[in-house]
Structure 1
Amino acid sequence: MKHTVFRGFRIIGIAAIGSILTLAILMAFQLLTFQSPFYKAYQSFNWVYSHYLTPIPEEQLVDGAIQGMLATLQDPYSTYIRANADEAADHRETALGEIEGIGADIRAEGGHIVVISPVEGSPAAKAGLLPNDILLAADDYRLEGLSVEEAAKYIRGPKGSELSLQVRRNGLQHDFTLTMIRDTIPTETVTVKTLPNNIAVIRISEFAGTTGQQFDEVMANLRTEEISGLILDLRMNPGGLFHEGIAVSSHFVPEGELIALQANREGEMERFVSNRPSTVDIPAAVLVDEGTASTAEVVAGALRESAGLPLIGSQTFGKGVGQTAHFFPDGSMMKYTDVEMLNPKGTHFHHIGLTPDIEVTLPDYATLPHLQLTETYGNGDQGQEIRILQQYLEALGYEPGRTDGVFDAVTADAVAKFQEDQAIEVNGLLDADTVLAMSDQLKRQIQENDTQLDKAIDVILNTLR
C-alpha cells in the first residue's frame, strides 16, 4: 500500500503568506455562498454546534462529518480514525512491523465485521480464527452494523487482557466462541525451513516494513546451502506494504520485467518493475489460499505472470485496491482507496481473487474451531463444546456416534479410547488434559496432511526429474 504522511505547510516569504491569505478568503467566500455544496455542511455544523440541546465538542462534529463522507463511498477500505485512537498508532507501527492486538485484518461488509486474514503466530491465529469468519460479538458487545473503527474499540485492549469473540463460519451450522489473550504481534514476517528433500519453504506472514530486508537475508543464507527447490508460502497472508511486495518479487522476476501495475482514477497506469537480477534459479512454486490478500496477491500474480511459477492451493481473497493514509497533526488518520492494483498482464483480481494453476483444498477438519474448555463435560451434558469435541473425535478416527452436541455413552467410549491411546487418565470425560491432547493431536494431523504443501513438493520434484 502507499502511505502518505501529512506534514503541514512550509511558509516561504511574504508572497507565500499573501497567497495563502487570499486562498483562505476565496475559500471562505465560496463556503458561505448559497450555491456552494459546502454551504450546507457549514450551516449544519454551525446549527448543531450552536443550538443542539447538549453541547458537542467541535472535534467530535468534524470527526463525524469525515466519517460520514467516507461512509458514502461504501468502501470497507476507506476509513477515518480519530485522534489518539489506538488504530491510528497501529497504522504507523505496521510500517515498522511492530503492533499489538489480536493480529487479524478485518473489514466491514454487509453490516458485518469480516476477517480478511489472521497474522501467523498472532493470538487470532493461535485461537483458530480464519479468513471470512464473521465476528458477531467481542466479549458482550455486538459488532453488527459497526464500522471497522467502532468494532476495533471493542476488539482491542492491553497486552495480556482476555478477549472472547463470537464467530460465525461458513459451512458450520452453529456459531461458536473463541477466547484469546491479546499480545504483541510477531515482527518476524519471514521464516524458512528446509525439508529432507532439500526443498526450502519460505513463509511470509505479512508484508511489513522489514519484510524485504528479512527476505534478502533468508535468500543470502539459502545460497550457501544445497537447495534444489523453493516453495514460497503466502497462505494466510493479509498483504501489507506494497513496496515490500515489490522487493520480494524482484528476487524471482528478471530485472526490468514488470511486477505490477497501479491504475488511478483517470486510468493512468504506473508500472513497477524488478530492480535487481533474479536470485532464484531453481524450480519454485507459490502456495496461496483464501487468506492470501492484497499485496500477497500482487506478489503471487507477479511470480506467475512474469516468473512463470505455478500457483498451488485455493482461490485467493480478492483485494486488488490500494490506499493512501494521511496522518493529521492531531494524530488522526484518514485512509482512502486511490489505486487499483493489477498483475503484469493487466489481470484484475479485486473482488475476484486469483485462481490457482493447481487447485488443492485442505481436509475439512482444518476449518474446525479450536476446542476451548470452560468446564468438564460428561455423559448427559449438551452444548457447543461437546459438538466440537465430537467433530474432533471423528476427524481423529474415533467414532463418537453423533455430532449434535449431546454427550452420550458412545461419545464417552470414544473419549476413553482417545485418552487410553494418549496415555492420559481414562475417565471418559471432556476435561482440560483431554482437550489439550486432542487439540495438539489435531494440529499435528493438519500439519502432517498439508495437502497443498504436499502437492507443491510433488510439482517441484517432478520438475527435477
Structure 2
Amino acid sequence: MRKTIKKAVVTVVLASTVIGLTGCGSSGVFSSSLNGGKSSSKVTYDGNLIDADVLSKTSKIETIIDNYYYNDVDDDAVKEGIYKGIMESLDDPYAEYYTKEEYAKLQEDDSGEYAGIGVTVSKDEDTGYVRAVNILEGAPAEKVDIQPNDVIVKIDDYDILTDDDLDYLVSLIRGEAGTDVTLKLYRESDKSYHDVTITREIVEYSTVSSFMIDDKIGYVRITQFIDNTDELFEKAVEKLKKEGMQALMIDVRSDPGGMLTSVVSICDYLLPEGTIVSIKDKNGKVEEEYKSTDEQSLDMPMVVLTNEYSASASEILTSALKEFKVATVVGTNTYGKGIVQSVIPLGDGTAIKLTTQKYFTHDGNDIHKKGVAPDIEVELPDDYTYKDFQGKNDSQYQKGIEVLKGKLGK
C-alpha cells in the first residue's frame, strides 16, 4: 500500500479533542521536540511574554502563598498550573497543556486498544455539552442503555462543567479493566435523565466495518481515522470487490475525524491524480499540499453519507470525493472544522496542543464553520432512533442505495 506522507504528523479532529473513548487519537506530533527539550533563557510570544514584570509579579504571588496560604503547597502542581494557564489564555478552544500522565494517555489513543467502555464522545464548542457519538459494536457500553447523541452530565460523583477539557473527562471514564464507571445521561428525545453503570474492559477498536448491501453495492463505514484506518479501509474495499461490488457507499456519519495521514492515504487509494487538501499557516503560506498519485483509483460509482457530526478528517474525505466529482454526497451539512491541531512534545514527557494551520479543499474552499454541503440533502425522520441505523427508517442510507442503483441502471 502506498504511503504518500509520513505518519503521525498532525491531527484533525472535532471538538476540544475527540479522542473519545474509542481511541481516535490526537497523538499526531511533530517529529522532534522544540529546542531539543531545552528551554531558552527568555521565552517570547508576540513580543516579551515572560519579561521582568511577569517574573517579579509571579515571585510576589509565590511569596504571599508561602507566607499566608493555610494549606500545604504542591510545588509540582503549581508549576503544572502555570503551564496550563498559558495555554488556557490563548483564544483557542483546542489549546491544551498535557502533563506526563496526560500525554501518555493521549499517545495510547492511537494504538486501537485500551481499557474503557467503547464509546466515542465529542464536545460541542458552542454549548460545552459532551455527547456520545458512536457505540462500538461488542463493547461494554452496548450492554447498557446508552445511545448516540445522549448528553453525559455526570461521571461517577463528578458533575461535568461546560468548560471541562474533554481529555480530562475521557480519563475519568477510562480506568482499569474490571472496574465500574457510572454515567448520568440526558436524552433530549425523552427529556429525561438516567444512570448507567458499565464495567470497563480491554477494548480492541476497529474503525472500519463493511458488508455487501446487495449483489452489486458494497458498504464501508469509517467511525474515526486512527493510525491503521487506511489499511483497514483498503482491505475492506478489496474484499468487497472480490465479492462482486460494482458501487460503493462510504458512511462517515458521526465520524469526528482523526489523523490527517490516514485520510490522505484513503483519498490516494480512491482518487485519480490531483490535490487532496492544502495546509496553510497563520500567514496564508501553503506549508503542505497533499496529492493523490496516478498509481491507483477506484473507478466505480460512489456515495458518501454525512451528518452534522462528520468533522475534520471525514470532511477532507467528503470534500475530496465531491470536488473530484467521483462521488455523490447524501445526508446533511457536515460539522465545519477546517483547522489543524498539532501536538508538540516538550522533551520531558509533557506536550502542548494548539491550532497551527488551516486546511483548504481540492477546489481551494475554506470549510471552517461552514462544512461541506451534501449534493442531496436528506434529514432523518423525526421518529428515527439509533436502532434504525442501516434500516428502512434510515432515510440517508436508503437514499444512498437509491442513488447507487440509479447509477448502475438497476
Q: TM-score, normalised by structure 2?
A: 0.79
Moved more, 223-232 or 207-216: 223-232
Equivalent of residue 92 in structure 1, options 83, 100, 107: 107
- Closer, same or farther: CA 73–125 of 1 in aligned 2, 3 Å: farther
SS of 1:291 mapped into structure 2: coil
Counterpart of 1:340?
A: 358
Give the total of aligned pairs: 375
SS of 2:289 mapped into structure 1: strand
Higher share in strand = 2
The 8 Å contact of residues 135 and 148 in structure 2, kept in 1 or not, is answered as no
Counterpart of 2:223?
A: 205
Deviations 1:215-255 (A, max 9, x none): 23223333434221111111221211111000011122212
- Aligned pair 1:463/2:404, yes or no? no
- Aligned pair 1:115/2:131, yes or no? yes
SS of 2:320 mapped into structure 1: helix
* Residue 31 of structure 1: how far off its partner (Å): 8.9
The 8 Å contact of residues 122 and 256 in structure 2, kept in 1 or not, is answered as no
Counterpart of 2:24?
A: none
- Aligned pair 1:271/2:289, yes or no? yes
Rounded Cα–Cα distance in structure 1 between residues aligned with 2:142 and 2:318: 22
- Aligned pair 1:295/2:313, yes or no? yes
Which has more radius of gyration? 1
- Percent pairwise identity: 26
Rounded Cα–Cα distance in structure 1 between residues aligned with 2:66 and 2:367: 45
- Aligned pair 1:447/2:405, yes or no? no
Counterpart of 1:321?
A: 339
Amino acid at match of 2:405: L
Equivalent of residue 374 in structure 2, options 341, 356, 368: 356
Counterpart of 1:24?
A: 41
SS of 2:299 mapped into structure 1: coil
- Closer, same or farther: CA 337–450 of 1 in aligned 2, 3 Å: same
Equivalent of residue 106 in structure 1, options 111, 122, 128: 122
Rounded Cα–Cα distance in structure 1 between residues aligned with 2:180 and 2:154: 14
Deviations 1:256-294 (A, max 9, x none): x11112222111223211135343111111011223122
Counterpart of 1:158?
A: 176
Counterpart of 1:437?
A: none
SS of 1:296 mapped into structure 2: helix
- Closer, same or farther: CA 64–447 of 1 in aligned 2, 3 Å: same
Higher share in helix = 1
Ranges in structure 1 where 5+ consecutive residues have no aligned partner: 12-19, 369-442
Higher relative contact order (CA 8 A, sep 6+): 2
Equivalent of residue 250 in structure 1, options 264, 268, 271: 268
Counterpart of 1:3?
A: 29
- Closer, same or farther: CA 181–307 of 1 in aligned 2, 3 Å: farther
Ranges in structure 2 where 5+ consecutive residues have no aligned partner: 1-10, 12-27
- Closer, same or farther: CA 10–81 of 1 in aligned 2, 3 Å: closer
Rounded Cα–Cα distance in structure 2 between residues aligned with 1:76 and 1:219: 36
The 8 Å contact of residues 183 and 197 in structure 2, kept in 1 or not, is answered as yes
Q: TM-score, normalised by structure 1?
A: 0.71
Rounded Cα–Cα distance in structure 1 between residues aligned with 2:238 and 2:61: 60
Rounded Cα–Cα distance in structure 1 between residues aligned with 2:169 and 2:99: 14
